[in-house]
Structure 1
């Protein structure tokens, strides 16, 4: 590793001459299967992708309004035309709804393919369209408001959400092949750079591609890797714009506080403006999500306000109501399959169908958690002899090939069907559908530091730990995910976790 613009840097077994690196900007082009000429810059594909979303949004909004008009006025099928005021109403709803989709930034580059933020923007625009339509039609005494409010807009909003999900699947599919990736340079201390690269490589869903790293005043000489790829490393922060030009980066991510100071970041932003390169600052508040962060400038001083996490109140009432509704529906639908599983468990090995175990819930309250028995009846007594073979993380005990697991139990664990009786725990109020993993009393006794904050809300049947690796997670990552959820959960986030859980159950990764 050498200073930029003077010598050469080794990447794997190769080296690149970087003399005169900052003289010209090389625009890296990614192959694109639908672009003329077979190539497309990042900025260009973003424009085309946004244009495609605009066309689809327009078509679905128009279809929703047209369907409402046809349902409200079936006489059009006999050849009669809509009255001018009816056509005017349709035009007003269309324009207001499209304007709201733009106002809520549902097609902004920052939310494209990012999941919850994009869906939330579409859903909020739909809710605002319902409110605006109700107010406008009430003010003008229009007789068709109910059709829009209770049918047309809600149905079309669901169609828009499905459209965005399909578009995201398409985007993710092509990103796996190297298309549509934002190329980034990561800047900061070695510790911060390594953390950012690790998070991007494992958790971002291939939104970014790290093309280079600039480590401030690094003297270790160690290389970096993003997944399976080596990352070129440089040491002079003043040459960041030259690195951006050399690798055709779309953004620079500042991984943490720099010794060069805040003035350097400001000047770097001015320098990057010349090449339309984004400057992204990774917050040091690693356990704080966007909804809790607000920016308020005071006389030119940008202040970041972090709202306190809430562990009670109306949002939790809504969460509990959703738990009861979804759990009751699930129990009604699954009562026969659950009865069949219980019968198979009894026939597979001696012992009861259900396994009861004391777990720790909200605020340290103990409760009896229910599961389909997946081990032999003497599993608890056999545990002591297996302690020395523990493969679990931290205070957790896990064995990939646990001899206590029955033949049917192995299948139930891989598919997470052994967790189904916890629906009863949800109805009782011991658990939630989504939340931190329910710990054993022995695990809680071994907690240290802030780990006990996991107990501030009810544990869940599923959670971030379930959709991010399950038993493959190490202890620190499991705790980090649980603490992040406790402080930043949302209703929409819960719905997305439940959806992702269904996919994880099919994948079976990390389940043993």
Structure 2
């Protein structure tokens, strides 16, 4: 089924181009912004099919229908955008050289609406692909070659991202390793030096070569040669994880592809650009949510006449404590009853979260379900204690248990939302939450912040992991 993805993308692109062409004709006629002697309807017979064909051919030439671009990364969108701009340029130049009187209004509307439409179409196709893969469909059958520790490392990464569509069917280990399976339970199906034979025998779609897979570059080159006539993808999986593609540069030197890794970007997250974004964003949101602030305050106050806000000491950037604001969602003596609940649940470290916490009030359940209880933290953002996006603000007791790795979370301001928020929230394990926070710290970018804020809305509306 995977081989039909390029054809599906082509059909979607062609359909969208046709629809946008009709919209451009109607828009040009109704708006009548550009005066022209040309009749758009007559031009469609000649210009319309040529524009669509030329547009599709340009996308194809730039690799927009290559099977490898589907499913992950921004390369697919970049190729579609570059090809669309190139096609628009070619169309303009061709009409000028041929002295073809193409309506300017039609041209601007066609490409002005067409480019966003194609990007949205690809997004919809990717969303459908991810949904199918999460249900176990349209998956790549993968063999991983290497030492057991490296195989497990790659398998864990592929396993925690099911939307990538990789199904690990077996491991290929060095000859001296006689184990039947790896520590994570991946079955060993043969030796790494038999990779090409076993890949065909197990109908694998891809082979991942991890650390310890081959003894020399010539052995790996031979494996690539053996598979050149097979529809089996060869992938090198280096021992590098949790690094964004913006920090990785591949530079061939004398036929040797060297991977250059840029330093972590957490210093950039402390500069004026992010702070300005936080100030403007928090101010706008406070004004927008003023009616919600009033409604939530009244509901909390009228329930038990207790305080509206809950203040808790949290640890911010560089280990500085601050008072984190929330709408109160628990009974007044919640902190007193905490020790008893910890003992009953057997929880002794990390953030304490109980799915059916008896301390939560009636209004508190509603506030937590849609994360309304966290809105007062906008004032924390305004005064510089927090950021709109960042690691979750930890308790001082949590920080005391941090090792050197976890302490890197304190390099940046904690956030109202973050990767942990859009990746499962309270459903995440402690180790997974730490991993996501460290990824954010090491790979910060403004575009990532905007993406997280967009995804937060979906996570809040679905109430995924909120309790």
Is the structural similarity TM-score above 0.5? yes
2:396 alignment counterpart = 441
Picking from 199, 202, 212, the partner of 2:170 is 212
Of 144, 147, 151, which residue of structure 2 is paired with 1:193?
A: 151
Is the alpha carbon distance of 1:289 and 1:340 closer, same or farther for their aligned partners in structure 2, counting shifts above 3 Å?
same
Q: Which residue of 1 aligns with 2:127?
A: 169
Matches within 5 A, 1:67-82: 67=23, 71=27, 74=30, 81-82=39-40
1:257, distance to aligned residue in structure 2 (A): 3.8
1:480 aligned to 418, 429, 435, which one? 435
Q: Secondary structure at the match of 1:356?
A: strand
Alpha carbons 1:391, 1:399 under 8 Å: kept: no
Is the Cα–Cα contact under 8 Å of residues 194 and 224 in structure 1 kept in the other structure? yes
Alpha-carbon RMSD: 4.2
| Cα deviations by residue, 1:385-435 (Å, 9 ceiling, x for unpaired) | 444346668532333343332233234334323222223333444333322
Q: Residues 272 and 350 (structure 1 numbering): CA distance in 2 closer, same or farther, change over 3 Å?
A: farther
Task: Name the structure 1 match of 2:10.
Answer: 54
Task: Note if 1:284 corresponds to 2:263.
Answer: no
* Residues 265-314 of structure 1 deviation map (CA, whole Å, 9 limit, x = unaligned): 33222222231311112231212121211111112221111122333559
Residue 213 of structure 1 deviates from its aligned partner by: 1.8
Q: Secondary structure at the match of 1:466?
A: coil
State the TM-score, normalizing by the size of structure 1. Answer: 0.75
8 Å contact from structure 1 (residues 416, 511) kept in 2 = yes
TM-superposed deviation, 1:161: 3.1
Gaps of 5+ in 1: 1-39
Q: Counterparts of 1:66-465 in structure 2 under 5 Å?
A: 67=23, 71=27, 74=30, 81-82=39-40, 101-102=59-60, 105-114=63-72, 116-119=74-77, 121-122=79-80, 153=111, 155-205=113-163, 207-216=165-174, 217-222=176-181, 232-258=187-213, 260-312=215-267, 319-320=274-275, 322-324=277-279, 326-389=281-344, 394-465=349-420
Question: How many Å separate the matches in 2 of 1:211 and 1:129?
Answer: 42
TM-fit CA distance, 1:136: 7.8
SS at match of 2:251: strand
- Residue 498 of structure 1 is matched in structure 2 by 453
- Which SS does the other structure have where 2:364 is aligned? helix
- Quick one: distance in 1 between partners of 2:324 and 2:105? 45
From the superposition, tell whether residues 129 and 358 of structure 1 become closer, same or farther in structure 2 (CA, over 3 Å).
Answer: farther
The aligned residue for residue 5 of structure 1 is none
Residue 447 and residue 174 in structure 1: after superposition, are their counterparts in 2 closer, same or farther (change >3 A)?
A: closer
Query: 1:244: Cα distance to partner?
Result: 0.8
Contact 2:190/2:198 (CA < 8 Å) preserved in 1? Answer: no
Deviation at 1:461, TM superposition (A): 1.8
Per-residue deviation, 1:455: 2.2
Cα pair 2:269 2:444 within 8 Å, conserved: no
